[in-house]
Amino acid sequence: MDSSESYRSAPTPPPRVSRWCELHYICGQLEQEATEIPQLFDAILIDKGQDLPPVFYRLAYQTLRDPKRLYWAYDEAQGIGSLVVPGAAELFGRDEESKPKVTLAGRSIVLRRCYRTPQIVLMAAHALNMRLLRPGGPLQGVTQKEQWEDLGYQVLEGDFRTVGSSITLTRTSPQRSPTLRMRVG
């Protein structure tokens, strides 16, 4: 069989899917069908990790030699489908005893400062993306104080446990930051 025949017989993703779905599909096929994945790299650095499916992380991890050093930058506020950073079990799966295959404890660093975007622009982008100022309440967004802190905000007042309550946020920074008010639920 020549290469054009093997290309034609390769599985194809469903029609009219996004590039993210295509990548997920291709990586999933590789993970299922590869009999051996060579360990080629000493370390891998992934940028824009929020745009990659978990199967991509698993494949990247398998290509690493010991000690496996996989680093990634992940901005959940820029994610395609979620505003939450997945945990190790979601990215790498669980073993037979239901324990995460990869442990990240003590090796994760959250950068709470944005170095590329002025704070007012970043806050406006968050407000628009999550529809925080919508009269009926946000359509999507983080709903816990710790999640806002991970995004670089400080909760000045309000209670996330009470639906419909107002929350006042500001960016934590040495520079003066504007304040953002939102209503939960």
pLDDT computed for residue 10 by the predictor: 47
Enumerate long-range contacts of 149-155, CB under 8 Å, 24 or more apart: 149/112, 150/76, 150/85, 150/110, 150/112, 151/76, 151/77, 151/112, 151/126, 152/112, 152/113, 152/114, 153/180
Average pLDDT over residues 10-28: 73
Residue 11 above 60 pLDDT?
Answer: no
* Residue 8: pLDDT band with limits 50, 70, 90: very low
**Given pLDDT bands bounded at 50, 70 and 90, which one contains residue 60?**
very high
DSSP summary character for residue 88: H
pLDDT tens string 91-102: 888 999 999 888
Tokens of 171: 């960016």
Mean pLDDT computed over every residue of the chain = 77
Spatial separation of the C-alpha atoms in residues 181 and 123, rounded to whole Å:
11
> What pLDDT is stored for residue 174 in this prediction?
47
pLDDT for the residue numbered 105:
62
Residue pair 44/71 in contact by the 8 Å Cβ criterion = yes
- As a whole number, mean pLDDT of residues 11-30 equals 76
Partners of 182 in the beta sheet? 167
Q: Cα–Cα distance between 123 and 47 in angstroms, integer?
A: 22
Query: Which pTM was predicted?
Result: 0.61
Residue 123: pLDDT above 50? yes
Has residue 22 got a pLDDT over 90?
no
Domain locations in the chain as residue ranges: 3-92, 119-183
Confidence of residue 183 (pLDDT cuts 50, 70, 90): very low
Spatial distance between the Cα atoms of 39 and 140, rounded to a whole number of angstroms: 40
| For the chain, percent of residues with pLDDT exceeding 90 | 21
CA-closest candidate to residue 81, choices 150, 129, 152: 129
Tokens of 182: 């939102």
